[in-house]
Amino acid sequence: MACTTLISADDLKDRMGRPGWRIFDCRCSANDPSVGEKLYREGHLPGARHADLDRVLAAPSGPHTGRHPLPAPDKLAAWLGAEGVGEKTQIVAYDDAGGAFAARLWWLARWLGHEAVAVLDGGIRAWEKAGGTLESGEAPGREPVNFRIREPLAGIADVHEVARVVSHLHSGRLVDARDRRRYLGELEPIDPVAGHIPGAHSRPFGDNLDEQGRFLPVEQLRTRFSTLARDPRSVIHYCGSGVTACHNVLAMEHAGLTGSRLYPGSWSEWIRDPGRPVERGIT
């Protein structure tokens, strides 16, 4: 049976080396794009390949986009195929940030219709704590295959739909995954404007995790998100640039609250237009 949300370190150890499994290291740093590859080469899970946020998991930003636009589907599909990911391949993504970046690859694979993708719960630290070994250097590539894009398993809301939600012309619920201080407008270390999209609810992605950096039990995650809306499909997630918001999508899916969507442009796209409203403080 495919793993479609999370996989534990113990379960991955039991399956390590099986044919049809591909592991990707998604570690990165918002302050230094070179850190992820450096950490990868110093030590990664056996056989893992590096998935760079800026070069693979996002397209270059433009004057009207957010900081991490979605990659072109055909280019992402070509990369997955070149990495040996086929229709029945099980993808496992991990990082060292509680899944904050690994969830982006999880979401993107589902966006292309690939269901067998999971995030390593607890990341590389959980792997080492479970007695897993690391390898240095770059893992050998895999035999290229044809990755075929299928019906999306992950939904998108664009900036126009978000604007309709803000204008109360649509019944969607907006959820902000950033640190609460950024949501409140008290702190903004990255983007030029502080605050949040009007009407959004604050659900920092870090609150999905326990003290060990693992996802909370399903019951707690369900409680955390179930009050947002009767229908999870009306929930729209955003963050600073459409990366960590994927963590909240993953948490809801893992809790059985299926169908919530991502606003990929997120806050960094929303504020590109000075005419779009901004809110500060508590909604």
The catalytic residues are 239
Residue whose structure tokens are 């075929």: 148
Q: Is 120 helix (H, G, I), strand (E, B) or coil?
A: strand
Q: Would you say 259 and 232 are in contact if contact means Cβ atoms under 8 Å apart?
A: yes
- What is the Cα–Cα distance from 174 to 154, expressed in whole angstroms? 16
Question: Sign (positive/negative) of CA torsion 194, 197, 201, 205?
Answer: negative
- What is the Cα–Cα distance from 92 to 25, expressed in whole angstroms? 9
- Strand-pairing partners, residue 93, are 24, 119
Residue whose structure tokens are 């295959």: 145
Q: Which residues contact 166 (CB under 8 A, 6 or more apart)?
A: 174, 197, 198, 199, 276, 277
Q: Would you say 209 and 228 are in contact if contact means Cβ atoms under 8 Å apart?
A: no
For β-strands 261-262 and 201-202, DSSP reports them as unpaired
- Strand-pairing partners, residue 175, are 201, 237
Question: Sign (positive/negative) of CA torsion 216, 33, 58, 91?
Answer: negative
